[in-house]
Amino acid sequence: MNITLLQTELYWHDPVANRAMLEEQIAALPQSTDLIVLPEMFTTGFTMDAPAVAEPANLTTLRWLRQMAAQTGAVVTGSYVVREQGPSGMQYANRLIWMQPDGQYDVYDKRHLFRMAGEDGIYTAGQQRIVKTWKGWRICPLICYDLRFPVFSRNVSGTDDSFAYDLLLYVANWPVVRRHAWNILLQARAIENLCYVAGVNRVGTDGNGHAYSGDSALINFKGEVLFQQADQPVAHQQTLSLAALNAFRQAFPANLDADAFTLL
**Active site residue ranges:** 40, 110, 144
Task: Say if residues 47 and 15 touch (Cβ distance below 8 Å).
Answer: no
Angle at which helix 15-27 crosses helix 60-72, to 10 degrees, equals: 0
Continuous H helices in the chain: 15-27, 50-53, 60-72, 179-193, 242-251
Coil vs helix vs strand at 237: strand
In whole angstroms, give the CA distance from residue 246 to residue 253: 10
Task: Say if residues 57 and 97 touch (Cβ distance below 8 Å).
Answer: no
Cβ burial of 258 (10 Å; 0-12, 13-18, 19+) is middle
Pairing relationship of beta strands 225-230 and 211-219 according to DSSP bridges: antiparallel
Question: What is the DSSP track for 171-204?
Answer: E----GGGHHHHHHHHHHHHHHHTSEEEEE--EE
